[in-house]
């Protein structure tokens, strides 16, 4: 507690220390502006308004890591893996964060995961360089979206085509030879508009590989979009928009972490056994969107999309002795020979025979995700009662094809070298899914009440084929996901709301035939307030998720050794939580000071006794055992100051302890930690801005995870300076 008081005190001092900022005109004189904090007052009466990470917040902190950006929202937690945001592990309201597979990821309202039905583990996330804001839909608000609706959905909103000519160039450099270059240009004419942006981000990485070597990454993205007005002279305009995208990445990332002792001696060390580890991927996007204003109060939006993703992750995967790497790093004394080989202290020959072999997997996978979705929105009267309705229909198909091989390496003199044997095949199979989703939403306004009826019907067919054994499987799953909500306006600034909905995660194919759908009943009670002048905003939600069956999917990223996803059924569980957000802005003289607090308390635990082979749960589970990697509490305090040409903000992030697994036997604790991030901007002119940022100001060394294999560090202190010029 004393440490956190010091963090808060230092954060407040930083926030009130010049430089400062205010909006200015071309001559640099201070403008009289109306400053708006967070949500608009109108959203107090909207039952389905999502929480947001605003454009201003993303620009202020120059986020390139979605994990860091999402810490600005209550109810969202992450299990960091690489501390760079390359592999998202995001959880909402008690869902397992591993690979974000229990939530819905969208980009501009379209499913963006590589194969959200057939293989929901997300190894791809949109580049934050091209994201303007983030929307977070939780619980009741996520019912219309599939395939998962227990925790919620995250929607990445990219930059839209500008109404006027706009072009900019952004150059950034910082610690660990981090470089980030961004360029964009766009304009709208009478019947045509376009926007083209591209970026390149790279770093040498902050981990120190035994024996030397790069631990960073390089990523390229380009995203052009074009819009045409189809009926120029019509009172009911129709727009056709083409969105394209290409991205690639080469990252020297690894699943391999450290033992506890090695972590606290040097958290940024990487063992020699990970010297070959590298992921390469390419992502392509084609979307065609048709928007039609069918009447003064109705719209029809249709999107056809096709996404391709190919990745090959070459990484240490297994040991010749058959022991699990995670078990070796948890108990290095008991597994001394294997530990010495992994860390380069001993040659592989010391184990005898093939026991010292280091098996390096080449997990080559190809994905596609394609479909057609349409949404009709209409506002209308029934008598004197105002209604707003939405009906959505989506036809979706996705697939994953696995071509897994492995090479055999040995440790010699602290170096990983090839054993000289031929590459071997370990898996060659594919999964496909065909899904139809129909959702509806209706808000009925009666006096001071807003009653909401929402539902989703989802049907999915799954297919599996093993090319090595010629085994094939098929199965289908259907679900109806209803929800009811009521909102009451106590006055124009304050509302109360309550809701209940069903939560469902469809069950795909399991190698052992244990397909059981995950189901829960979700309850919410909340209140929202926005002041008349929009300088104060608050939102509090109490939620309870009652699982009839909580499922787990065993993947290598969660510590399993299975070559394909396996489902585990855990039975009953419950998640109880409170989310709170408070935002206020006020002036001291000519200094404007915005303050934001996001806080979350969660208790997530099992309500049943059972035994399991699922590595991410443990072995013997008892009633009351915690769900893994869900922090008990976490909060973010942001304090900014603005004065004339200066602006700065400090974010204080605190995350409570988490548990590595549910079972008490062998359970490890990931300790609580607090960090401070700072950013500052100086407007040289109306068109040019100089900015700087410091992540982890105090240089705190902290652990974020023990998955996939061993202790992993958070990002160390890093500094950077950038320049943005608008043409």
Q: The domain spanning residue 471 has which CATH number?
A: 2.40.170.20
pLDDT for 554: 67
DSSP 15: H
Beta strands in 74-165 (DSSP E): 76-78, 90-92, 104-107, 110-111, 131-138, 152-158
DSSP secondary structure, 547-594, as one string: EEE-EEEE-GGGT---SS-EEEE---EEEEEEEEEEEEEEEETTEEEE
Q: How many domains does the chain have?
A: 1
pLDDT for 27: 35
Segment 479-533, tens digit of pLDDT: 999 999 999 999 999 999 999 999 998 877 765 555 678 899 999 999 999 998 8
Structure tokens that stand for 612 in this block = 């399991």
On the question of pLDDT at 710 being above 90, the answer is yes
The SS3 call for residue 676 is: strand
Question: What is the 3-class SS of 96-131, one letter each residue?
Answer: CCHHHCCCEEEECCEECCCECCCECCCCCCCCHHHE
Indicate the pTM of the whole model.
Answer: 0.92
Structure tokens that stand for 510 in this block = 């399991």
Segment 675-708, tens digit of pLDDT: 999 999 999 999 999 999 999 999 999 999 998 9
pLDDT for 1: 39
Mean of the per-residue pLDDT values for the chain? 90
Q: Distance between CA 646 and CA 279 in Å, rounded?
A: 40
pLDDT for 24: 35
Q: Distance between CA 574 and CA 403 in Å, rounded?
A: 38
Segment 156-203, tens digit of pLDDT: 999 999 999 999 999 999 999 999 999 999 999 999 999 999 999 999
Decide if 470 contacts 506 (C-beta within 8 A): no
Centre a 10 Å sphere on the Cβ of residue 5 and count the other Cβ atoms it contains. 9
On the question of pLDDT at 238 being above 60, the answer is yes
pLDDT for 669: 93
Segment 274-323, tens digit of pLDDT: 999 999 999 999 999 999 999 999 999 999 999 999 999 999 999 999 99
pLDDT band at 558 (very low <50, low <70, confident <90, very high): low
Segment 438-481, tens digit of pLDDT: 999 999 999 999 999 999 999 999 999 999 999 999 999 999 99
Alpha carbon dihedral 13, 19, 21, 24, in 10-degree steps, equals: 170
Structure tokens that stand for 490 in this block = 């106590």
Residue given tokens 């001291």 in the structure block: 588
Segment 125-164, tens digit of pLDDT: 999 999 999 999 998 999 999 898 788 999 999 999 999 9
Centre a 10 Å sphere on the Cβ of residue 648 and count the other Cβ atoms it contains. 26
Structure tokens that stand for 579 in this block = 């989310």
Q: What does the angle CA 128 – CA 129 – CA 131 come to, to the nearest 5 degrees?
A: 55
Of residues 25 and 276, more confidence is placed in: 276
pLDDT for 37: 60
Q: Distance between CA 257 and CA 176 in Å, rounded?
A: 20
- φ/ψ of 330, rounded to 5, equals -70, -35
On the question of pLDDT at 391 being above 90, the answer is yes
Q: Residue 35: which domain range?
A: 2-726
pLDDT for 336: 97
CA dihedral sign, ordered 558, 559, 565, 568: negative
Q: Distance between CA 716 and CA 694 in Å, rounded?
A: 10
Q: Distance between CA 197 and CA 51 in Å, rounded?
A: 26
Q: Provide mean pLDDT across the span 379-391.
A: 93
Beta strands in 607-672 (DSSP E): 610-611, 620-621, 633-643, 646-655, 658-659, 669-670
């Amino acid at each position: 507690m004393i440490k956190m008081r010091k963090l808060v005190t230092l954060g407040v001092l930083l926030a009130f220390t010049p430089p400062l900022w205010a909006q200015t005109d071309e001559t640099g004189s201070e403008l009289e502006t109306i400053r708006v904090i967070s949500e608009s007052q109108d959203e107090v009466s909207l039952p389905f308004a999502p929480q947001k990470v605003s454009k201003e917040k993303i620009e202020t902190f120059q986020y390139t890591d979605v994990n860091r950006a999402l810490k600005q929202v209550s109810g969202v937690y992450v299990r960091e893996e690489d501390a760079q945001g390359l592999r998202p592990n995001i959880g909402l309201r008690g869902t397992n964060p591993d690979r974000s597979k229990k939530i819905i990821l969208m980009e501009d309202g379209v499913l963006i995961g590589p194969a959200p039905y057939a293989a929901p583990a997300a190894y791809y996330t949109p580049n934050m360089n091209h994201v303007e804001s983030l929307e977070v839909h939780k619980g009741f608000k996520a019912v219309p979206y599939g395939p998962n609706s227990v925790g919620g959905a995250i929607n990445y909103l990219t930059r839209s085509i500008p109404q006027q000519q706009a072009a900019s160039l952004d150059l950034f450099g910082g610690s660990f030879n981090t470089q980030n270059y961004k360029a964009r240009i766009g304009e709208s004419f009478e019947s045509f508009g376009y926007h083209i942006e591209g970026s390149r981000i790279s770093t040498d990485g902050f981990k120190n590989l035994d024996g030397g070597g790069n631990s960073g990454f390089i990523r390229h993205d380009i995203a052009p979009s074009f819009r045409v007005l189809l009926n120029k002279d019509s009172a009911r305009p129709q727009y056709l928009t083409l969105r394209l995208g290409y991205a690639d990445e080469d990252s020297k990332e690894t699943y391999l972490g450290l033992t506890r002792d090695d972590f606290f001696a040097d958290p940024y060390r990487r063992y020699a056994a990970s010297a070959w580890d590298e992921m390469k991927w390419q992502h392509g996007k084609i979307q065609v969107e048709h928007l039609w204003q069918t009447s003064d109060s109705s719209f029809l939006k249709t999107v056809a999309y096709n996404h391709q993703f190919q990745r090959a992750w070459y990484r240490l995967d297994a040991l010749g002795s058959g022991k699990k790497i995670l078990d070796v790093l948890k108990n290095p004394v008991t597994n001394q020979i294997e530990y010495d080989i992994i860390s380069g202290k001993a040659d592989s020959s010391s184990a005898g025979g093939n026991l010292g072999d280091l098996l390096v997997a080449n997990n080559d996978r190809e994905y596609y995700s394609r479909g057609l979705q349409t949404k009709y929105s209409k506002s209308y009267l029934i008598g004197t009662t105002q209604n707003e309705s939405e009906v959505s229909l989506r036809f979706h198909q996705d697939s994953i094809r696995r071509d897994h091989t492995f090479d055999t390496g040995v440790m010699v003199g602290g170096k990983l070298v090839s054993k000289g044997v031929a590459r071997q095949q370990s898996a060659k199979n594919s999964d496909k899914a065909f899904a139809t989703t129909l959702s509806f939403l209706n808000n009925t306004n009666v006096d001071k009440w807003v009653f909401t009826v929402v539902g989703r019907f989802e049907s999915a067919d799954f297919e599996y084929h093993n090319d090595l054994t010629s085994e094939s499987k098929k199965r289908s799953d259907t679900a109806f996901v209803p929800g009811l909500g009521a909102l009451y306006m106590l006055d124009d600034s304050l509302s109360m709301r309550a809701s209940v909905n069903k939560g469902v995660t469809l069950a795909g194919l399991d190698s052992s035939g244990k397909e059981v759908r995950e189901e829960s009943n979700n309850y919410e009670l909340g209140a929202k307030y926005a002041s008349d002048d929009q300088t104060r905003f608050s939102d509090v939600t109490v939620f309870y998720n009652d699982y009839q069956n909580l499922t787990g999917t065993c993947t290598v990223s969660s510590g399993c050794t299975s070559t394909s996803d396996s489902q585990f059924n855990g039975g009953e569980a419950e998640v109880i939580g409170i989310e709170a957000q408070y935002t206020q802005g006020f002036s001291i003289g000519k200094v404007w000071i915005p303050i934001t607090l996001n806080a979350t308390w969660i208790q997530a635990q099992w309500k049943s006794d059972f035994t399991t082979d699922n590595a991410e749960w443990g072995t013997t589970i008892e009633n009351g055992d915690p769900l893994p990697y869900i922090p008990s509490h976490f909060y973010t305090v942001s304090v900014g100051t603005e004065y004339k040409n200066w602006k700065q903000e400090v974010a204080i992030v605190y995350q409570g302890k988490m548990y590595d697994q549910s079972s008490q036997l062998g359970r490890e604790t990931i300790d609580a930690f607090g960090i401070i991030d700072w950013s500052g901007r100086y407007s040289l002119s109306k068109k040019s801005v100089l900015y700087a940022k410091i992540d982890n100001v105090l240089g705190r060394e902290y652990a974020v995870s023990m998955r996939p294999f061993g202790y992993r560090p958070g990002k160390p202190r890093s500094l950077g300076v950038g320049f943005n010029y608008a043409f």
